[in-house]
A and B are shown apart, each in its own frame.
Chain A
Amino acid sequence: MTAAIAPTRRQVLSLYKQFIKNANQFNNFNFREYFLRKSRASFKQNSTIQDAEKLSKLYQDAKNDLSALKRQSVISQMYTFDKLVVEPVDKEERKDINKH
């Protein structure tokens, strides 16, 4: 068995960026907020792991999750519904709110 190669810092950061980007593309407010929260929390939680084998497994799993997230964010954009009463209609406004 070949030794597992841990992903580089750069690879992990790029993966994280993609998670946030795709999560942000959900049209559904609740799903968007959830996947943003989830992505941030799980990357933060696993940030202290040093074990190469564990890291490479997590990296593989995350890559699979990311592909599901990509597909689902696209589907969410295909079937859209009205915005929620807590959700600003204007996209620009939404981005402002997400900033803080």
Chain B
Amino acid sequence: MLRYTATPFLRLSSSSCAASLASRRTLPSLVSRSNIIIPNTKNKRLYSAVAATSPAVKVAKDISLETHTDTQRAAKETQEARSAAATTPLSKSSIIDEIDTSGTTALNAAYQENTGFGTRPIYMDMQATTPTDPRVLDTMLKFLTGLYGNPHSNTHSYGWETHKEVEDARDHVAKLIGANAKEIIFTSGATESNNMVIKGVSRFYKNTKKHIITTRTEHKCVLEAARAMINEGFEVTFLNVDEQGLINLKELEDAIRPDTCLVSVMAVNNEIGVIQPLKEIGNICKKKKVYFHTDAAQAYGKIKLDVNDMNIDLLSISSHKIYGPMGIGGLYVRRRPRVRLEPLLSGGGQERGLRSGTLAPPLVAGFGRAAKLMYDEFESDHEHIKRLSDKLVKGLLALDHTNLNGSADHRYPGCVNVSFAYVEGESLLMALRDIALSSGSACTSASLEPSYVLHALGRDDVLAHSSIRFGIGRFTTEKEVDYVIKAISERVQFLRNLSPLWEMVQEGIDLDSIEWSGH
């Protein structure tokens, strides 16, 4: 058996997790050996795995990762950073100096310094949010300028005109999932819709039913709402998923008990893009007379959904994932047979009494227009996204030791999650400042905790750490995809060259056979 004594510098990857966890948002250890110049900081900072664990470096939290929107300031800062790089202080110890200079030049080469091109990063995080479509904005502007009536006032024409527009928007939202407009309730977003369902349905039936079923790969808001119901005396079953990310239908059927009131399974996973077998789940739920809720924030308008065909009783929708405005979403609540739920908000009884509060006509109309556009352009968007996604997947998987997370067949093509072995996801993100990406859900990207979704798939910590999610949407262009493939290939190679683990892999050493000392 091989025995490697890991010096602090060579202790990377698994052992460095602790170091990177300790220093949130500082540069993770793979990059940390080299000195990276961040244009926003005036003085150079040095990072090492050792330093990262010491409290002194905690100051580095204040590194701003903001994107420049001001050209002049950006140019000035770049210039400052360059002049700072030219006058490297020579007071460092020789070894750090050596690593420092080599790292700097190499990293400078890794950052594409294309003069003649812009500085704003490419947006590739479509699962977090999507850009607002100009046609949606065009619809919304009418309401922010002239049509300011309260849609609930029925005594004057100001109210009537906005009311009409709101109802039109409701029609468009309903049409996309084959529902009736009366079954759509506008909420503040998919998080509210999910909470409303999990808490509302179970509270309404709390006298007879005490059990909720959901899965481990759900969005945090479903998991947390379900957890909150445990405190209210409910039992929650979290179903496991296989390594493809799909639930086992047999397991679901066995988990349903006579006192189960709700099954909640998301349609498209936000991190890995896996599509769950909704129709089969709907059939099981119908057979067992249990309500079926699906969180379709990532699926609505992007894959074919039909609430009647799939036997869906409740469906959560988010507007800003379909190029609509933020701050609005919807919930489909079946009317026949009627699904009862206790409202979260009490008040004037708007939205069938399920969600009181004045609607926001600009947001509702924008949402409606966005839904209509998704309906009208379903084919062309799908064709475009599929083409770019195939290109991206092909380009990324051409690299050694990379793999696609989640099922390759039951997948929404607009979400591509790839693991790059022997590279830390966060350090790769740091090296990719010209591409806006995420290693997982936006809600959890503040912490360096490995993704719980990838964990549920059975990926180990190291691989979960090195995963990156790529989002492709209506406005992504082929040029951007080409740039991303090129940039990722170059920088993964660069980061791997820094990694002693990679060196060992190249030498044919089985990493599992190494007995790490110092643990």
Chain A contact residues, CB within 8 Å of chain B: 26, 29-31, 33-35, 37-38, 41, 65, 68-69, 71-72, 75-76, 81-90, 93
Contact = CB atoms under 8 A, between A and B. Distances in A.
A100 B68 CA distance: 30
Interface string B88-118: 0000000000000000000000001010111
Contacts of A75: 134, 137
Interface string B63-82: 00000111100100000000
Contacts of B15: none
A68 B139 CA distance: 9
Contacts of B479: 33, 86
B119 to A, nearest CB: 5
Nearest to A85: B434
Contact of A89 (B118, B131, B475, B476): B118
Which of A34, A38, A71 has the most C-beta atoms of chain B within 10 angstroms of its own C-beta?
A34
A72 B118 contact: no
Interface stretch (B3-11, B120-128, B306-314, B417-425): B120-128
Nearest to B474: A34
Contact of B120 (A35, A68, A71, A84): A84
A48 B256 CA distance: 54
Contacts of B121: 84-85
A65 B134 CA distance: 11
Contact of B477 (A30, A41, A65, A81): A30
18 contacts: A30-B123, A30-B131, A34-B477, A38-B380, A65-B135, A68-B138, A72-B135, A75-B137, A82-B71, A82-B120, A83-B118, A84-B120, A84-B122, A85-B112, A85-B119, A85-B120, A86-B117, A87-B118
Interface in B466-481: 474-477, 479-480
B131 to A, nearest CB: 7
B516 interface: no
B117 A31 contact: no
Given A30-B477, A82-B71, A86-B483, A76 B134 contact: yes
Contacts, number: 80
A60 to B, nearest CB: 16
A85 B120 CA distance: 6
Given A30-B131, A68-B135, A84-B122, 11 more contacts: A30-B475, A31-B475, A34-B477, A69-B134, A82-B70, A83-B118, A83-B120, A85-B112, A85-B121, A85-B122, A88-B116
Which of A35, A82, A86 has the most C-beta atoms of chain B within 10 angstroms of its own C-beta?
A86
Nearest to A73: B134
A71 B137 CA distance: 10
Contacts of A72: 134-135, 137-138
B483 A90 contact: no
Contact of A90 (B116, B134, B476): B116
A38 B135 CA distance: 13
Given A31-B475, A33-B477, A81 B69 contact: yes
B119 A83 contact: yes
A82 B117 contact: no
A84 B138 CA distance: 24
A58 to B, nearest CB: 13
Interface string B409-442: 0000000000000000000000000110000000
Contacts of A34: 474-475, 477
Contacts of B474: 34
B287 to A, nearest CB: 43
Contacts of A85: 112, 114, 117-122, 434-435, 483
Interface in B197-224: none
B116 A93 contact: yes
Contacts of A30: 123, 131, 475-477
Contacts of B483: 85-86
Contacts of B476: 30
The 6 A-B residue pairs with the shortest CB-CB distance, nearest first, are A83-B118, A72-B134, A30-B475, A82-B120, A68-B138, A85-B434
Nearest to B480: A86
A85 B483 CA distance: 9
Which of B71, B116, B475 has the most C-beta atoms of chain A within 10 angstroms of its own C-beta?
B475
Contacts of B480: 84, 86
A88 B131 CA distance: 21
